[in-house]
Each structure stands twice: as structure tokens, then as C-alpha cells.
Amino acid sequence: MKRITIDPITRLEGHGKITIFLQDDGSVANVYFQVPELRGFEKFSEGRPAEDMPQITQRICGVCPEAHHIAATKALDDLFHVEPTSTAKKLRELLYSAFFVTDHTTHFYILGAPDFVMGPDAPPAERNILGVIAKVGLELGGAVINTRKQNHWIIQTVGGRPIHPCFGLPGGVSRAINEEERAQIEEIAKQSVEFGNLSLKVFDDVVLKNKEYLDMVLSDTYTQKSYNMGLVDENNKVNFYDGKVRVVGPDGKELCKYAPREYLEHIAERVEPWTYLKFPYLKKVGWKGFVDGKDSGVYRATPLSRLNAADGMATPLAQEAYDKMYSTLGGKPANFTLATHWARLVELLYAAERLLELSKDPEITSTDIRNIPTAKPDEGVAIVEAPRGTLTHHYITDERGVIKKCNLIVGTTNNYAPLFMSIKKAAEDFIKPGVEITEGLLNRIEMAWRPYDPCLSCATHALPGQLPLEVTIYNAQGQELQKLSRGIS
């Protein structure tokens, strides 16, 4: 067979575009951040039975299918006016905790760690997971792979299928677990707690013991004083599966706390002419442009914001890690974007501890896993915390349960405005008159967006398997000065 040499650019418009305009003196005049958007999901879902939503919505995203499955399942509870059994809720949260362990592990070691372990200016050939493992040790690499594998086994066992679960039903779940499975989950949870502790130690050794890095984390370039959003339980502790959304200002004061059904009273969306993206903001504060501060309705929904929005963690080891983080960062709320990596590790430990708690719960092997809905469906809203931010599913159906309208606010959407602002601030701070624009400088601008781990077009599986990014810099006359790209040939 003839071998064809090809030139893959993945999706034609499938890459994030950062466009920087310079002034006459070479400083930054303006920055634009554009990303592609998938179209037509609302129309696609109209006319389908609502029960299909847990299966369909998890296909939107190649990174967090489990989050969509759980959010959709909870929206069906609300839609069909049925309360799941206690065991069903616990099984859902158990699967969700295992998912958080896998996702946060992936993010930290693949995405976050290379900048710190290898250094922000290290050549890209070394600044990746292979470099991290070569430096930190094969044993850690094995632990990363093993933790993911084991927790994927939990997702498959409890959820019925690997990666794309199929166990969520209105009022419960489709399958109970037996004692043998429970014991195995408990064992994996114990190992995951150890792995969570180990990961925090890696962060401690690599970042906190390096003054240069700690200074970078605390620097003004990577600081943004916006509102913080996160789901909390009845004690205002972080919760991924259930609770109320709490919003806390950059001054640490609670702005509001709302139930899922009230979300439209609190969140509005801003449209800008230069991008398809809509920018959600806090209605009560109002849209004041891409600025931070407590008079601006811009909010963040990230691991760090979740910790900022809560009063603490619901498990003991994660609470210790939480206290240590805030004492190092100078108190709450912490507005340092790069500390999001740290917060993610605190959450990783929490997810593992919660997994362990649930695996030992006496009810977890009960076969009382479903309440059959009897009421007519009309409207359902659910909110969970996805790894990248608060995830809202809202469906309206006819009395047969056929979707008439569907609205989703996905994790990353919440963060569009702050993400844009973080990139702009880094670009303004690093690109100065007379400064050569290098790969290392591009990376430091990227470091402002990496903590958000944006799921932009959910296009992560496209060959060659990475989301490309392009930065174009124009001078004051509108001429292209320089173009730097990665993942685009």
C-alpha cells in the first residue's frame, strides 16, 4: 500500500487563538482569545426522551463524561419529581469520587507538574510527563498509572461501563454492588488516599520548597481578584455531588447561596462581538467588562474557587491540607491563579477520602437502589461540580418526558471571562517594549490558562491528539509580527 505523507492540522478552526495587538512602543494594546464552539446541541436534544440525556450529554465532552452523566441523572430526579434512595445517592457519589481521583491525577501530572518540575523555561521537549517521570522517578509514574487504572475499575464496576457510565436512572441507579466489589473498592480507596498524600508531598517538595516558584505563585501577574463559585454541603464544606452553590467575593464575604432551580436568578450571560463564546456573570453584581474586583460580576469556578467559596473540607486529611494551603498563601480567599494546582491536589485527597468513607458505609451494598417515578415530568435542574467548574443541566419537557428545551452551563464556560483576563494580564506583564518574544515567554502566558484546564471544544481525541494553540502578535499598524503555535504544523 502506498504511504501518504500528510499534514494534519487537526480541526481547521479547532484551535485556541490568542491574538495580541501591540502599541507603537511594543507594549500590549489588546488581547483577544477565541476558541471554536460546537454547535447545535440544544436542537440535537429536542424531541428526544429525557431518559436519554445521561447517555447523550456525556458524549459532549471527551474529558469529563462522568460529570455529565451524573448531572443529567440528577436533573432527571428533579424532572420526574422523584427522590433517589439513600443507597443510590451514595453509589452515585462513590463513582463520582473515583472519577475526581482519576481526573485530578491526570490534570496535575500531565498538565500542571511539568511547568514546575521541569521549570517554566525548560525546552518543550523536556517539559512534559516523560520529563517529570524521568526526574521524579519511575515509581511515581507507576503510581499515577495505577491510581487511574484502579479508579477506572470502580467507574466500570459501579457505572456498568468504563468511561461512559450507564447506571444513572431517575430515582436511583440500575445496579447494586456486592460485598466482594465493596471490599475491592475500599482497598483501592485506601491506596488512593495514600496517593493523594504523596501528590501533596510532591507539590511540597517541588513548588513550596523552591522560593522562585512560590514567588511566582504569589506574583501579581498570576493574581486575579474575582468572585468564587462552588457547591457546598449544609455545613458549607466542599461537595462535588450535591448541595447549594455558594458565591464568595474577593473580600471573602458571601454574596449568595442558591439551590439549582434558582440559577437563572443569579447567572446571566454576556455576548461579545468577537467570539461565539458567551461569558456568564453574576446578575446581582452586573457586567462591568473584563475587570476583577468586587464591583465586577466576573466569577471563577475552579478547584481554587471551590475551596475559596467553602468553609473547609468534609474529610480530615483534606482539611489539614486545606489549612496548610491557606496559611502558606496568607489566608482566605486566595486569588492566586497558579495555586489552583495546589487546590486541585487538596480536592484529590478529599475525593479519595470520601471514596473510602462511602466504601465503608453500611448502606452501600443495599439493594434498595431505586424509587420508581410516578409524577408527570415537566422541568428539571441539577448542579454538580465537574473537575473544571460548576456544571448545570436544565431540561424542560412535555408531559411524556420529551425534551422541549435544554440548557447547559458547562464547567469551563463559567471560566471564559476570568480565563481571558488571566491570559491578558500575563501577556501585558511579559510582553514589554524591547523584549524578545520567545517560547519560554509564550509558555509563561500559557501558564495563566493552564490551571483552568479549559475544555474548549471538547476535541481532545482528534488526531494528533492535542488541542492546538496559536498566538499571533500584531504591531500598531496591524501587521503580523510573529506567530507562535503549538500542535499546529
51 or 320: CB nearest other proteins: 51
Footprint on residues 309-328 left by other proteins (CB under 8 A): none
For 108, 158, 165, 207, 346, the CA distances from 350, given in Å and listed in that order, are: 15, 20, 22, 21, 6
Q: Are 53 and 404 in contact (CB under 8 A)?
A: no
Q: Is 271 in the site for other proteins (CB under 8 A)?
A: no
Q: Which stretch binds other proteins (CB under 8 A): 60-68, 185-193, 209-217, 323-331?
A: 60-68
Query: Residues 95-124: x/- map of binding to other proteins (CB under 8 A)?
Result: -----------x---xx--x---------x
Least distance (Å) from other proteins to the CB of residue 457? 8
What are the phi and psi torsion angles at 304 (to 5°)? Answer: -65, -40
Q: Which stretch binds other proteins (CB under 8 A): 185-193, 320-328, 379-387, 453-461?
A: 453-461
Cα 185 from Cα 96, distance rounded (Å): 13
Least distance (Å) from other proteins to the CB of residue 322? 27
3 or 211: CB nearest other proteins: 3
Footprint on residues 157-196 left by other proteins (CB under 8 A): 163-164
Residues 6+ apart with CB under 8 A from 363: 86, 87, 90
Footprint on residues 37-56 left by other proteins (CB under 8 A): 37-41, 43-44, 56
Total binding residues toward other proteins, as defined by CB under 8 A: 70
110 or 396: CB nearest other proteins: 110
- DSSP string for 268-312: EEEE-TT-S-EEEEETTT---SS--STTS--EE-SHHHHHHHSSB
Instruction: Report the candidate in 168, 175, 159, 176 with the shortest Cα–Cα distance to residue 80.
Output: 168
Q: Is 81 in the site for other proteins (CB under 8 A)?
A: no
Q: Is 438 in the site for other proteins (CB under 8 A)?
A: no
Cα 300 from Cα 360, distance rounded (Å): 34
Q: Is 400 in the site for other proteins (CB under 8 A)?
A: no
Least distance (Å) from other proteins to the CB of residue 182? 23
Q: Is 387 in the site for other proteins (CB under 8 A)?
A: no
Among 142, 252, 289, 433, binds other proteins (CB under 8 A): 142
Q: Is 148 in the site for other proteins (CB under 8 A)?
A: yes
Q: Do you find a cis peptide bond into 454, omega within 30 degrees of 0?
A: no
Helix (H, G, I), strand (E, B) or coil at 460: coil
Residues 6+ apart with CB under 8 A from 445: 18, 423, 426, 427, 430, 471
- CA dihedral (111, 116, 121, 125) positive or negative: negative
- CA dihedral (322, 324, 329, 331) positive or negative: positive
Residues that bind other proteins (CB under 8 A): 1, 3-14, 16, 36-41, 43-44, 56, 59-60, 62-63, 65, 106, 110-111, 114, 124-125, 127-130, 133-134, 138, 141-142, 145, 148-149, 152, 163-164, 443, 446, 449-450, 453-455, 458-467, 469, 486-487, 489
